[in-house]
Amino acid sequence: MSEQKKITTPLTDEIVEDLKIGDQVLISGTIYTARDAAHKRLVDLLDKGENLPFDVKGQIIYFVGPTPPKPGQVIGSAGPTTSYRMNAYTPRVIEAGQKGMIGKGEMGADVVAQMKKHKAVYFSAVGGAGALIAKSITAAEVIAYDDLGAEAIRKLTVKDFPAIVALDCHGGNLYEEGIAKYGKL
């Protein structure tokens, strides 16, 4: 049976090492949003040796393009996007110090290799639950790439953001384990 854990950002090696696939987590603190267009810009900056718009060390990046907030809301619906779109960029951002990602679906082998090498974790958020997830976001501010609209980088303040550890730094893969345990081959 998995365990529920409360974690606070920024993540440390010790926090990441303690997380195992299947763990249910409630994340509090600051997380950042970025999808593929923003990730491409981040990697371009890293490749040029330039500073990123925020310090990625110890941070979690949520793969999301939230809808605009309605009056009185901090953010609109904020459900995860499909993570494989970030496969080309995430290994480089992990090398720069990123410790966590939140999305839906599997990540590629290059991402997994960097997660093991640099002690990072991938959390899965429930697709289709964007309105519910948005309730755990207490503040949202665009900090870079406003021209990307919903895909701009946002700094989010979260309280008990719900997620599940899908890939851990020990090589655990909830998707593979689930198929092996429950799948019909």
Q: Annotated active-site positions, please?
A: 39
Q: How do beta strands 137-144 and 60-62 pair? A: unpaired
CA–CA distance, 164 with 125 (Å, rounded to integer): 7
**CA angle, corner 33, sides to 88 and 67, nearest 5?**
115
Q: Report how far residue 88's alpha carbon sits from residue 110's, in angstroms, rounded to the nearest whole number.
A: 8
Cβ–Cβ < 8 Å for 166, 123: yes
Measured in degrees and rounded to the nearest 5, phi and psi for residue 28 equal -125, 150
Question: Which 8-state DSSP code applies to residue 42?
Answer: H
